[in-house]
Structure 1
Amino acid sequence: MKCKHMISCLVALILISSSLSPLHILATPIKELQVKQELIEREKNRFNSGVEQKEIEIKSNDSEISTKLEQLHTLGNTLNTASKKIDKTEAEFYQTAEEIELLHKSISILEKDVSERDSVLRSRIRSIQANDGSIDFIDVLLGTTSISDFFQRYSALNALLEADRKIMKQQSSDIKQLEVKKRLVAENLSEQRDNKNSLQELYTILELQRIEKDSLVQELELEQILLTSEKEKLKSSYDIAVKMSEEIEQEIISLQNRQTINSNFYETASTYIPAAVCSKDGNINEDVFFAKFKSAGAFTGKGQAFIDIANEYHIDPVLMAAIAFHETGSGTSKAIREFNNPGGLMNPATNWSTLLRFDTVEDGLRTTGRTISKLINKGGLTTVSDLGSAYAPLGADNDPTGLNRHWAPNVTKFTNEFGGLIMNCEK
């Protein structure tokens, strides 16, 4: 059988052990109590070690949580910085877009100027081509009518040539400037786009890291809750084990004190407790034995049942019969008549304040036989006096009037009346 909770198993083990002997725990041999206490001590130490281990795990887990929270804090600051950079880049992108729009307008104006100058230049070229590819400046000058006309025509020709040179120079400059502005527009757009994409990728990576670490922190916090819960369960089990150990220790001390009282009583009373005689041949004197069952109340005719059940539990039938006759007033007490209880066995469910009830006398005999067997064969209580110190201890809570002092003398008397003991007896 596997137990999920060790303390439950421990309690169950003790209850089962107690149910095997329906005597009060004070009647349990000290050795058995010490075994139980040792078992509880081992479990107590195991629970305590478990608590210490959980505390170490909780401390380690708490340290890891703190580390992850610090990393999350740093990551959050990095995300904020990246977000600000993205916002700044977007603002610069929109500003660049406006500048690019102005640049496009400037380009349009330049393109218009270039186009107009191109038209003038083309007109000049067509004029030159119309005159067979040249202008006869000599003819223009020789065709003057006066000196002043000559100078006027000369000045006009020079001005015309200078204007053509300026147009061509401006055209060349504007074309270069146009190419530069177009290149700048393309470069600015590409640079802004690349910056924005890089920052967006960085932000995405950081956000994924933040989500991952946040999830890990949540897992660690949940594990912390579970560890704390397990620690509290172990602590509760440890406290229960400590309490049980202390209670058993008190029971051992109490039993030792009462056994001392019993020992002193039986030593003092040895002068009037009749000695238990032994069977002459080591066997049951059947004539004497069965004669006692001819008129014995609830035990009438049950002599063989006593023998069979005693043999089943490897105890002396004479001793078992003697105990039963003492406990029941030779088969006539209320205990045997109404409860089928031949051994005066008390009910642990009522804190040993009431008798156990059995369906039949035979059921009662078996429980009584099992109880006596446990005390003799496991507890080593082989004499009537020793057995009495455990079966009916002086000062027991369920014996307020002190009737237990009559147990050993009366049981001894009945063993003699049944023909003498056949086991654990020295002639």
Structure 2
Amino acid sequence: MNFSTGQSQGVSPMMSSGQAYGQSTSYGQQQRLTSANYSTGSQGGGAARSVAASGELSVGNTKAFTFDELYDITAGFARDKLLGEGGFGCVFKGTLADGKAVAVKQLKGGGGQGEREFQAEVEIISRVHHRHLVSLVGYCIAEDHRLLVYDFVSNDTLHHHLHVYSSLAYAPAALAGRGRPVMDWPTRVKIAAGSARGLAYLHEDCHPRIIHRDIKSSNILLDEHFEAQVADFGLARLAENDVTHVSTRVMGTFGYLAPEYASTGKLTEKSDVFSFGVVLLELITGRKPVDSSRPLGDESLVEWSRPLLNRAIENQEFDELVDPRLDGEYDDVEMFRVIEAAAACIRHSAARRPKMGQVVRVLDSLTDVDLSNGVQPGKSQMFNVANTADIRQFQRMAFGSQDFSSEYSQSRSSMSSRRDF
């Protein structure tokens, strides 16, 4: 596999382009979108409402659909066309007049905040193009309706393949035939490499840089060849090249949030890197980011895995960490490098995490790439002590809610701690 970070896979982010959506996902004139538009998560809703009221956005060649068109191609948003539901709405399958299959994401009403998220997703996705990013076909603004139309991706999400389908293979006889084989190791590496390339493109090849802010396994779509496509840009933010971080309301999914972002609201590309590290852990272990059925103290995949990652790197013993469903069918060298990448991505200190370009080079060639960033082998927990109070407070708040699957949102003003990492 060749997974480099070159620009050959995409056009300039300033050019309009189509982008891809699949099953059960969370799914003109040219205008330059600057960090002033979205990077601070502006609380005013006037601009968003005035643009939406016109029924059109400045998003290049992206098609503006009428509500009736989308109503027709989804058979009136019929239940048998429903692909999935998420925190921001429902996704339906439709077929355009030319026979092209699409996924239609019908957003829930959300006032000014929802309007901003709608515009962010349309304008950000329409201005980038990469084989490992979702492809936007069009959008619809009609009265209170806000809809997005994506290419249909037929093979569901990474989350479903790791945590839903494979578990059905071992379910009672009533579910016989619904299960799928456990995802093998080469496929997991392929998915990790592809999604890393898409994320690296957003961070390093787009100007302004794009921070996704909600990287998770349910936002990684898979086509029939198990090529990964990063989806759901509703929470994405832009960062100009001379800006070190973006201050914004904390939003995302618990289990994936970087500790410094959760506690201070300061968002950087390294926040995405942490979230991607959690995805790598899912691929390695087969575990969910948060699992309330686990023993007390082991609910968090990140905290459970830290000592096991250290032991795996120091002793190259993987049995305690690796998904037992793989039954030992993996290459030791590949496993070591992916484990090393995951451990580097979830470091407590954002400054010590690698850039996505470095992670891509590891997953591309699985050769020696220095991910230490000054951290001595076996010393990655040196950052734990300083951050323990913030992390434990955050965990208590989230675990206490017993809501691990929905998006997490916490106003920065309610966080008691203000520490730079």
Larger radius of gyration: 1
Going by fraction, where is helix more abundant, 1 or 2? 1
The higher relative CO (CA closer than 8 Å, separation ≥ 6) is in 1
Q: Is TM (by shorter chain) over 0.5?
A: no
Tell me the TM-score normalised to structure 1 length: 0.18
Question: TM-score by structure 2 length?
Answer: 0.18
